[in-house]
Structure 1
Amino acid sequence: MKPLLIVLMAFLMPISHFAQIKYESLPSQKLGETRQIKIQLPRNYEKNTEKRYPVMVVLDGDYLFEPVAGMVDYYSYWEDAPEMIVVGINQDGLRTEDTQYSETNFLPVDKGAKFFEFIGMELLAQLDQKYRTANFRIIVGHDFTANFINYYLMKSNPIFQGYINLSPDLAPEMADRISQSLNKAETGKWYYLATSSEDIPALKDEIKELDNLLKNVDNKQINYKFDNFEGASHYSLVGKAIPSAIESMFEIYRPISRKDYNEILLQTSVSPSEYLEEKYNTITELYGIQKQISVNDFMAVYNAIEKTRNWEEYKDLYKMAHEHYPGTMLGTFFEARYEEETGNPKKAMRIYQNAYGQENIAFLDADFMLEKAEAIKKDFGY
């Protein structure tokens, strides 16, 4: 689906129908004033009392919050990205002061330095105290604020792991500083950069120069994506860039694709069950969240095992299925298939029969499982 179409769909469906929107006033000692913020909590936040969520901080929240929050809700609904707590900081009339930097060393100064500390020392701390946050944070900005978010990247232990730069208006020396920071990064960082053919010419030229630098970053900890959208303006590129950024930052989070199925799972040198386990362990390591293995991903591995006839793979798969979907027929079916194909048809028949009374899942129901048991009984005369 085209990114612009996704954006339009998100706007056509009221965000409040999908997620909880809260408007809060946050007193700041650093700024000496109260700032207005918007917070979108994930669907069913109140019900999932044990679940923790990554945080996405959106600068220019007066106009950028809604498109970002809508896309996060849309992608998380389809499980292409995790549910997140999205926080927008309203900067209408304040963004120039908030993003102020020195004319000598080009680092935050005066109100800009205070705003930098407000986000890092007050906003995030209060979010962590008030909400169930995970230790994965993304920050988003547009032109002036997109330049500003990169100052967090320069810290020795950055508080943000993801950076979404929408047509940044780069300060002098910023390109080299970003490149150096990414080259030295010791933990995973996701960096997204966007411009367009109709972007402001001066910005576009500097962004392309930055892209040339970042293409040469040699660091396995860095996940970098650059977009140069054809025909989009400085403002309309935002609608295309947000879904692209989300997709690039959460590529491994998405369900197993047709491409992964054909190029990885069907290769006999690959253990499909190990691939599945490693995929979800990586999600936990990268994003700090526990994700239940989806039924669709279990089915992808099941189909791969059937295609490659690597029956031993069922042994680990049925154990994972019993763990993730206890009380359902999923683990029972995989276990029965394992016994059926490894020379224990009588045991397989009994396992199929034991599924009676368990919860239906995917294509599995009592009739299907009993038919499988009857087929074995008929074939072997039990």
Structure 2
Amino acid sequence: MRKIVIIVFLFHHLIGYSQLHDNISIGRTEKIYSRILNEERTLWIYTPEGVENRSNSHDNFPVIYLLDGDYNFHATTGILEFLSKNQLCPYMIVVGILNTNRNRDFLPTHNPSIEGSGGAKKFTEFLDKELIPFIDSIYPTAQYRMLIGHSLSGVFVINTLINSPDIFNSYVAIDPSLWWDNNVLLNQMRKVSKTANLSGKVLYITSASLKRGLDSLQVLSDTTNITSGVRTNFEFYKILDSTRESTYLESKFHYYPNETHPSLPLISVYDGFQYIFDFYKRPSFANIADTSFHAKEILLKHYDRVSDKLGYKVYPPDELIDGIVFLYRLNNMEEQAKEILKLKQLRNK
């Protein structure tokens, strides 16, 4: 017995040693020259496992356009990989956009005290006219897009929702600096909400405390500068909430009293995915041994709803089908297992 244990230990040790010489890759780099911005931009790209380009994939995937890409790429792709492998959100492509000039690209208006500010309109045009077509030409993309930004790039997220809502389907704005230019985006939202139709759009907006432990009542009753940015975010969401019936925007605001501005992105992306893709979560198969439980019907109905929400046809993933087959066989229900296995053929029709 001792020899077996030693052999097993050595085997795993040797495997571990050999793997130390292999690189673990979570993405690749692309470059695009923008005529609109008159500069080259660097992109960090994450794709689902086994997907490299349009030619080697039978499926299409939603795309996340991630601002401040170099800062947020590792956290976002890690969260996405975990949630998607557990069927809590779709498998998606991530396009991390590295910065050259944050003030220029993300701020919608010019302030003389902030050099280069006010170029958000051009950056939006770059995304819409150059970057998105570029990504669509290389990768197997679906026509569902998400925009994520933090702080100044969170301002850009909100500005895009207000002024160019047709480009993206969902938005995550993490502690956006909505105090910018005397709350210019709050004023724009008040005007736009009277006529805008944001049906089908989803916004998840978060805010952190500049001083840990302040609850929302303490923040809203405070009048000092330390809470002014947070109070502006609360005020913005108050506008969204009061105009929900006219804009049809689906939105949620989350204040995190124990997070700070730098710590907020990680939990915001995680919670944002959970909120935006709540409809995606797989149904329960706990009653699969019950002969009146029709797993195939439940599965097809669920993915029809998912397809309707995402705007393209989505099929049950093979790993979920395999899991249901395993449960059926565990309960000696071979006929039902064979019937579920047939679902793998759907995407090939």
- Asked if TM exceeds 0.5, the reply is yes
Asked if the contact 2:321/2:344 (under 8 Å) is kept, the reply is no
Paired position in structure 2 for 1:45: 51
**Greater RCO (Cα-Cα under 8 Å, separation 6 or more):** 2
Q: What is residue 194 of structure 1 aligned with on the other side? A: 206
1:279 alignment counterpart: 302
For the Cα contact (< 8 Å) 1:195–1:229, is it kept in 2?
yes
In the alignment, what sits opposite 1:322?
A: 342
Say whether residues 1:206 and 2:232 are aligned partners: yes
2:81 counterpart (73, 79, 82)? 73
Structure 2 counterpart of 1:322, one-letter code? K
69-78 or 40-49, larger mean C-alpha shift: 40-49
With normalisation by structure 2, the TM-score equals: 0.71
Distance 1:143 1:175, change over 3 A: same
TM-score by length of 1: 0.65
Q: Kindly state the Cα deviation for residue 197 of structure 1 after the two structures are TM-superposed.
A: 2.8
Q: Please list, as runs of the form range in 1=range in 2, the aligned pairs for 1:359-378 lying within 5 A after superposition.
A: none
Change (3 A) 1:62 1:184: same
Deviation at residue 218 of structure 1 after TM alignment: 2.3
Which one has the largest radius of gyration?
1
What is the match of residue 26 of structure 1?
32
Of 151, 154, 159, which aligns to 2:162? 154
* Contact 1:37-1:90 within 8 A present in 2 as well: yes
Residues 18 and 73, structure 1, Cα contact 8 Å, conserved in 2? no
Do the aligned partners of residues 201 and 213 (structure 1) sit closer, same or farther apart at CA in structure 2, a change above 3 Å counting? Answer: same
Cα shift at 1:183: 7.8
Question: SS at 2:209's partner residue?
Answer: strand
Quick one: percent identity of the two aligned structures? Answer: 24
How large is the RMSD of aligned CA atoms in angstroms? Answer: 3.6
For 2:64, the aligned partner's letter is M
Q: Write the mapping of 1:1-382 to structure 2, written as runs, cut at 5 A.
A: 17=24, 19=26, 21-46=27-52, 49-91=57-99, 94-102=101-109, 111-155=119-163, 158-170=166-178, 171=180, 172-178=183-189, 180=192, 184-185=196-197, 187-198=199-210, 201-216=227-242, 217-218=244-245, 222-257=249-284, 275-287=298-310, 288-292=312-316, 294-295=320-321, 322-324=342-344
Residues 264-318 of structure 1 show CA distances to partners (whole Å, capped at 9, x for unaligned) of xx9x9x998655433211211222241216338968x98xxx9xxxxxxx99x99
The offset of 1:195, in angstroms, is 0.7
Residues 271, 319 of structure 1: CA spacing in aligned structure 2 closer, same or farther, 3 A cutoff? Answer: closer
C-alpha distance 123-224 of structure 1, shift in aligned 2 (>3 A): same
Q: Offset at 1:257?
A: 4.7
Residues 59, 156 of structure 1: alpha-carbon distance in 2 compared, 3 angstrom cutoff:
closer
- What SS does the corresponding residue of 2:46 show, helix, strand or coil? strand
Structure 2 unaligned blocks of 5 or more: 1-22, 212-225
Q: Which consecutive unaligned segments of at least 5 residues does structure 1 have?
A: 1-15, 307-313, 327-382
Distance 1:297 1:285 in 2: 24
Give the Cα–Cα distance (whole angstroms) in 1 for the partners of residues 98 and 138 of structure 2.
Answer: 20
Distance 1:187 1:18, change over 3 A: farther
Task: Measure the CA separation in 1 of the matches of 2:42 and 2:135.
Answer: 14
Distance 1:18 1:24, change over 3 A: closer
Distance 1:130 1:91 in 2: 22
Amino acid at match of 1:209: E
Deviation at 1:130, TM superposition (A): 1.1
